Amino acid sequence: MKRRTTTTISLGIAAVLGAGFASANFAQPEIDEAQMMELWMAAAAPGDAHDGLKRLVGEWTCTSRMYMAPDAPPMESTAKASCRLVMGGRFVEQRMQGEMMGMPFEGFGLTGYNNMRKQYTGMWVDNMGTAILTMNGSADQSGNVITMLGQMDEPTTGEIGKTVKWVTRFLDKDTYVFEAFEVQYGDPFKVFDITYTRAR
C-alpha cells in the first residue's frame, strides 16, 4: 500500500510539473486562441503528401524475397495485403497475411506524413517479433520513392538499435516495391523486398 501511495504521489507531482512546464511554454508566444486553433488545424489537416499515400490503398498480392547473403539466392514467399485510409485520411493502415520462411505470417502497419516535421512516418508490428518498428524519412523530387530510416534489434547477433533503411518505390498505379536495407556496416545490403501487385 505504501509503494502504491508513493507511486500515486510521484505521478501526481509529475503531472503538476508537466502542466506547469506546458503552461510556461504556451505562455511565451503572444498568440490568441483563434490563432492557436488555426495553427493546430493546419498541422492536423491532410495535405498533398497524404493524397500521394492513397496509392497504397487497395487489395494486394505480395511476393517477398529474403536475402540471407549477397551471393545466395533469395527465399521467396507470398502473402496478401489489405490497405485502407484511417483517421480521416491521415494514415494508411496495412494488414498482411501469408507465410514467411514456411511459417504463418501476419503484420500490421501505419504509414503517414507528419506535417509538423515535414517527414513521412511509419510503424510496423508482426508475429515474428515483439518490437514496434518506427521509421521516418522523405520522398525524392518525383514523389515516387520514399526513403525512411529507423532502428531494429537483431536477435541472431544480439545487436540493439541497428540502423535500417526502408525504401518504397511506386512503379505504376498497380505496382510498388518495399525494400529493407542494412546500412550500418559499409555498403547497403538488401535484407528483403516485397513486390505489391494490385489484386484483380
The ranges of the chain with pLDDT < 70 are 1-29
Spell out the alpha helix ranges (H) of the chain. 2-27, 33-44, 48-52
- Return d(Cα 55, Cα 83) in angstroms, integer: 10
Query: Do residues 197 and 61 make contact, with C-beta atoms less than 8 angstroms apart?
Result: yes
Burial class (CB in 10 A: 0-12, 13-18, 19+), 48: exposed
Q: Select from 49, 53, 46 the least CA-distant residue to 176.
A: 53
Residues 135-160: tens digit of each pLDDT: 999 999 999 999 999 999 988 888 89
* Whole-number pLDDT of residue 9: 40
Q: Answer yes or no: pTM beyond 0.85.
A: no
* Whole-number pLDDT of residue 25: 52
